[in-house]
Chains A and B, each alone.
Chain A
Amino acid sequence: MSTVTEPATGPQTGSSTSDLIARLRAQENRPALVGYLPVGYPTVDRSVEALKTLIDHGTDVIELGVPYTDPVLDGPVIQAAAQGALDAGARVRDVFRVVRELTEYAPHVPVLVMTYWNPVLKYGADAFARDLAAAGAAGLITPDLIPDEAGDWLAASETHGLDRVFLVAPSSTPERLRLTVAASRGFVYAASLMGVTGERSQVGSRAEQLVADTRAAGAVNVCVGLGVSTGAQAAQVGRFADGVIVGSAMVRPLLSDGPLTEDEWAARLTDLAEVTEDLAAGVRSARATAPTDPSAAVTPGGATTPGEAP
Chain B
Amino acid sequence: MTDVKLSDVSGPYFGEYGGRYVPEALIAALDELDTEFRKAADDPEFAAELQRLHREYTGRPSALTEVQRFAAHTGEARVFLKREDLNHTGSHKINNVLGQALLVKRMGKKRLIAETGAGQHGVATATAAALMDLECVVYMGEEDTRRQALNVARMRLLGAEVVPVKIGSRTLKDAINEALRDWVANVETTHYLLGTVTGPHPFPEMVRQFHRIIGEEAREQILERTGRLPDVVAACVGGGSNALGIFNAFLDDKGVELRGFEAGGEGIESGRHAARFSGGALGVLHGARSYLLQDDDGQTLPSHSVSAGLDYPSVGPAHAWLHDLGRATYEPVTDDEAMEAFRLLCRTEGIIPAIESAHALAGAMRVGKAAAAEGRTGPDGEPLLILVNLSGRGDKDVATAARWFGLLDEGVATEELERQEGRG
Number of interface residues of A (CB under 8 A): 41
Does B377 lie at the interface of the complex (its beta carbon under 8 Å from any beta carbon of A)? Answer: no
The complex places the Cα of A308 from the Cα of B97 at a distance, in Å, of 59
Q: What are the residues of chain B within 8 A of A122 when measuring CB–CB?
A: 281, 283, 294, 296-298
**Interface contact B16-A1, CB-CB below 8 Å:** yes
| Residue of A69, A122, A195 with highest tally of chain B CB at under 10 A | A69
Q: Which of A44-69 contact B (CB under 8 A)?
A: 68-69
Asked whether A196 and B185 contact (CB < 8 A) given A70-B168, A122-B297, A149-B21, the answer is yes
Chain B 13-27: CB-based contact to A (< 8 A → 1; otherwise 0): 100100111111111
Return B142 CB to nearest CB of chain A, in Å: 15
Does A118 lie at the interface of the complex (its beta carbon under 8 Å from any beta carbon of B)? Answer: yes
Return A177 CB to nearest CB of chain B, in Å: 10
Asked whether A173 and B28 contact (CB < 8 A) given A118-B283, A122-B298, the answer is yes
* B24: contacting residue among A75, A121, A172, CB under 8 A: A172
SS class, residues of chain B in contact with chain A? mixed
**Interface contact A169-B294, CB-CB below 8 Å:** no
Q: What are the residues of chain B within 8 A of A145 when measuring CB–CB?
A: 21
The complex places the Cα of A176 from the Cα of B173 at a distance, in Å, of 29
**Interface contact B298-A121, CB-CB below 8 Å:** yes
Does B130 lie at the interface of the complex (its beta carbon under 8 Å from any beta carbon of A)? Answer: no
Does B300 lie at the interface of the complex (its beta carbon under 8 Å from any beta carbon of A)? Answer: yes
Return A126 CB to nearest CB of chain B, in Å: 15
Does B292 lie at the interface of the complex (its beta carbon under 8 Å from any beta carbon of A)? Answer: yes
Does A123 lie at the interface of the complex (its beta carbon under 8 Å from any beta carbon of B)? Answer: yes
Does A217 lie at the interface of the complex (its beta carbon under 8 Å from any beta carbon of B)? Answer: no
The complex places the Cα of A148 from the Cα of B287 at a distance, in Å, of 13
Asked whether A118 and B285 contact (CB < 8 A) given A70-B173, A72-B180, A195-B185, the answer is yes
**Interface contact A92-B298, CB-CB below 8 Å:** yes
Chain A 168-193: CB-based contact to B (< 8 A → 1; otherwise 0): 11111100100010000000000100
Does B89 lie at the interface of the complex (its beta carbon under 8 Å from any beta carbon of A)? Answer: no
Q: What are the residues of chain B within 8 A of A149 when measuring CB–CB?
A: 19-21
Q: What are the residues of chain B within 8 A of A86 when measuring CB–CB?
A: 299
Q: Which of B224-259 contact A (CB under 8 A)?
A: none
| Residue of B177, B284, B286, B296 with highest tally of chain A CB at under 10 A | B284
Return B25 CB to nearest CB of chain A, in Å: 4
**Interface contact A1-B173, CB-CB below 8 Å:** no
**Interface contact B24-A168, CB-CB below 8 Å:** yes
The complex places the Cα of A146 from the Cα of B31 at a distance, in Å, of 14
**Interface contact B185-A194, CB-CB below 8 Å:** yes
Q: What are the residues of chain B within 8 A of A176 when measuring CB–CB?
A: 24, 27-28
Closest-by-CB residue of B relative to A79 is B167
Closest-by-CB residue of B relative to A86 is B299
Q: What are the residues of chain B within 8 A of A191 when measuring CB–CB?
A: 23-25
Q: What are the residues of chain A within 8 A of B186 when measuring CB–CB?
A: 194
Does A212 lie at the interface of the complex (its beta carbon under 8 Å from any beta carbon of B)? Answer: no
Return B228 CB to nearest CB of chain A, in Å: 39
Does A117 lie at the interface of the complex (its beta carbon under 8 Å from any beta carbon of B)? Answer: yes
Asked whether A73 and B23 contact (CB < 8 A) given A173-B28, A194-B185, the answer is yes
Closest-by-CB residue of B relative to A177 is B24
Return B288 CB to nearest CB of chain A, in Å: 11
Q: 10 other contacts beyond A92-B297, A119-B299, A120-B298, with CB at 8 A cut-off?
A: A68-B299, A72-B177, A72-B181, A75-B181, A92-B298, A118-B285, A146-B24, A149-B20, A171-B27, A171-B187
**A-side interface residues toward B, CB under 8 Å?**
1, 68-73, 75-76, 79, 83, 86, 91-92, 117-123, 143-146, 148-149, 166-173, 176, 180, 191, 194-196
